[in-house]
Amino acid sequence: MSFKGYAGKILYVDLSRGKYWTQNIREDLIKAYVGGSGLAAYLLWNLVNESTHPLSPENPLIVATGPTTGTLAPSSGRFTLVSKSPLTGIWAESHAGGFLGPQLKYAGYDVLVITGRSDKPVSIIIDDDDVQFYDSTSLWGLNTRDTVNEIKGRLGKDYHVMCIGPAGERLVKFSSVMVDYYRAFGRTGLGAVMGSKRLKAVAIRGTKDVEVYDPGKYVEILDEILWINKEGPWALPAQLSLGRYGTPCLVTAMNAIGRLPTKNHWTGFWEEADKISGEALLRYRVARGSCFSCMIMCKHVTKVDSGKYEGAISGGPEYESVVALGSNLLISNIEAIIYMNSLCNLYGLDTISTGKVISFIFECYEKGLVTKDELGGLEALWGNEEAAIELIKMIAERRGIGDILAEGVRKAAEAIGRDSWKYALHVKGLEVSAQDPRAHKSVGCTWAISVRGADHLRSLTTVDELGYREIAAERFGADKVNDVCDRLTEKYKGLIVKDQEDLFALVDSLILCKYGTMWPPMYYFDFIAKILPPLTGIKEFGDVKYLRLTAERIANLKRCFNLREGVGRESETLPSRFTDEPMPTGPSKGHTCNLDPMLREYYEYRGWDYATGLPYEDTLIRLGLDYVAIELKKRYKLPRSFDG
């Protein structure tokens, strides 16, 4: 490959045949999709169709890196996992940090594509050009920590490992894939995809180099970034909050604006929030670490040294986990939250979905929709940490009511029936994350349009939430600042969600961490145009207009993937809790989320037909997605032209 910054190869593994092979990446695909999430979208589109079952051997598991991976770019330790989701049946994408992504690149591969199903439990061992299949029958049933310990003990500590726990083996639909103990591919149930393939783990060690097109210029840019992070205008807030407390620093800030999900999102304000804050967690911190090439060092390890939960050790817990297992359940015992987070990691469970299915059953119990007998004798009362802990175990083991909850809230509500659907908070089948669109209106648009469901990491905006007026004026115009920066109005929220979705599509293709683009908002399209050309030698990547078009292409391709699955406009709704129930307490009291004007605006900026949710054919052609238009026209009558 003439381009730099890439290994230039895809490694394919077929577990059914026990075979592997490599394929060179076409340079036109690099220019069109950059890498990471974008390239994975192209591959998944071509490797599956609407009849591919998520738990079938044919459904691929795609592990992808980007051009910045392994090159010392800021916060470039993340990598992505892409497939068709067993939880939602549509686009599945999750990201994790640490060091395994760079190791895949150093082994000589930008992407790993795994298909098939092994006859017995197996792990894939990658050591540069050497790929081996390791009988993992003895590892099946182990938790994720013991699995990593066993593999590192046999291969060496310089291997990095991603694996599943018992939840993934039992095909829990929101099971996670854990990376080196504490990093998680949490969302969309990718652990179940691994479990269906009888793939226990992937271990990687790489020793090759990643070439840079213009090392002198690239180092000059890295030095500038180093200054921005250490001494620039965004350095101090990042160091004082994310660096000191990790992501749980957000608990206090979100509670202050009435956006802290509490009691299954009944309200956004909790009087006991200080008990689960970053400050509260700091007392339990025993280590602080970083992902590859990151100065923020927001990764904390906490441990309980005494009492009921003595010995519990956990990565984080992160903000989303603290909320899902804390305020969401009215549990204020931070030691119980650390323990529950640890349990989820050991079993291999997404903490967000786990917390939300438990809060769902808590509310069903409160409303008399399920009985104590149906719950196996549990009293699912708000604040009952013992019941929450037992439910985590029941879900991971698919025992009793846990077998129903293991399918996610959408399926659980269908199984329980009655009025339980009212308390099953999801979009497109993915349980809602730790935001509230009544207190932060653009969140409603973000959840509705996100391709993997109720998702905050494909387009969450912060200019409105945090009031970055100067940045808003620069990006969207001075005449829009007042409305853009008002988190409690729906005006211009379709615009900023579309803009952020495009930015994140590009960031997830490079791949960079969202901190730096979401908060603090240091990096934008102009930054990407600055760093990519000296890294890759691709001149087009230095053109902001070209990058924006590329970002739109990636975002549209993912959306069209869902359309091909038959999931479109009708799925872009919110649970009635957010649209019909005014916020009952706190700083955002009285607010609901009016989704329609935001969606209408978003569709207009996207070049999609509002009535049908379908892209105009001209839009797809403009983006170079002619092959997508051909496929969609087999199912839909695409509107012809867009003159917006």
What is the residue-wise DSSP string for 279-290? HHHHTTEEEEE-
Cis before residue 317, ω within 30 degrees of 0?
A: yes
Find the length of the chain.
644
Domain boundary among 205, 231, 258: 205
The predicted model gives 323-341 an average pLDDT of: 98
Let me know if 412 is exposed, middle or buried by CB neighbors in 10 A (0-12, 13-18, 19+): buried
Cis before residue 630, ω within 30 degrees of 0?
A: no
Q: What pLDDT, on a 0 to 100 scale, did the predictor assign at position 238?
A: 58
Is residue 188 domain-shared with residue 251, that is, in the same domain? no
At 162, give phi and psi (nearest 5°): -115, 135
Per DSSP (E only), the strands in 513-640 are none
Q: What pLDDT, on a 0 to 100 scale, did the predictor assign at position 521?
A: 80
Residue 528 resides in a domain: no
Residue 538 resides in a domain: no
Is residue 188 domain-shared with residue 287, that is, in the same domain? no
Annotate 304-343 with DSSP letters as a single string: --SSTTTT-EEE---HHHHHHHTGGGT---HHHHHHHHHH
Number of domains in the chain: 3
C-beta separation of 390 from 424 below 8 A:
no
Is residue 448 domain-shared with residue 591, that is, in the same domain? yes
Residue 180 resides in a domain: yes
Which residues, 6 or more positions from 300, have their beta carbon under 8 angstroms from its beta carbon?
245, 246, 281, 285, 287, 288, 289, 315, 316
Domain boundary among 424, 456, 489: 424
**Separation of alpha carbons 465 and 359, rounded Å:** 26
The predicted model gives 341-352 an average pLDDT of: 98
Residue 486 resides in a domain: yes
Domain extent at residue 307: 246-424
**Separation of alpha carbons 628 and 560, rounded Å:** 7
Query: Terminus-to-terminus CA distance in the chain, angstroms?
Result: 39
SS3 at position 489 = coil
More confident residue, 606 or 242: 606
pLDDT at 25 over 90: yes
What is the CATH number for 45?
3.60.9.10
Each residue's pLDDT tens digit, 229-252: 777 766 655 555 777 888 999 999
Q: What pLDDT, on a 0 to 100 scale, did the predictor assign at position 504?
A: 97
Is residue 366 domain-shared with residue 411, that is, in the same domain? yes
Residue 219 resides in a domain: no
Is residue 382 domain-shared with residue 275, that is, in the same domain? yes
Is residue 54 domain-shared with residue 199, that is, in the same domain? yes
Proportion of the chain above pLDDT 70, given as a percent: 98
Q: What pLDDT, on a 0 to 100 scale, did the predictor assign at position 518?
A: 82
Residue 459 resides in a domain: yes
The predicted model gives 493-509 an average pLDDT of: 97
- Residue 204 pairs in a beta bridge with 126, 160
The predicted model gives 374-390 an average pLDDT of: 97
Each residue's pLDDT tens digit, 424-438: 999 999 999 999 999
What is the CATH number for 390?
1.10.569.10
Q: Which of 206, 154, 142 is nearest to 178 (CA)?
A: 142
Residue 315 resides in a domain: yes
What is the CATH number for 625?
1.10.599.10
Binned at pLDDT 50, 70 and 90, residue 11 comes out as: very high
Is residue 411 domain-shared with residue 504, that is, in the same domain? no
At 537, give phi and psi (nearest 5°): 80, 10
Is residue 198 domain-shared with residue 282, that is, in the same domain? no
Reported as type and span, the H/E element at residue 481 is helix 481-484
Angstrom distances, CA of residue 153 to CA of 1, 447, 506, 625: 36, 42, 38, 47
Domain boundary among 147, 179, 205: 205
Is residue 499 domain-shared with residue 372, that is, in the same domain? no
Model pTM above 0.95: yes
Residue 612 resides in a domain: yes
Q: What pLDDT, on a 0 to 100 scale, did the predictor assign at position 266?
A: 98
Tokens linked to 60: 């691929």
Is residue 133 domain-shared with residue 14, that is, in the same domain? yes
Is residue 459 domain-shared with residue 383, that is, in the same domain? no
Is residue 467 domain-shared with residue 616, that is, in the same domain? yes
The predicted model gives 262-277 an average pLDDT of: 98
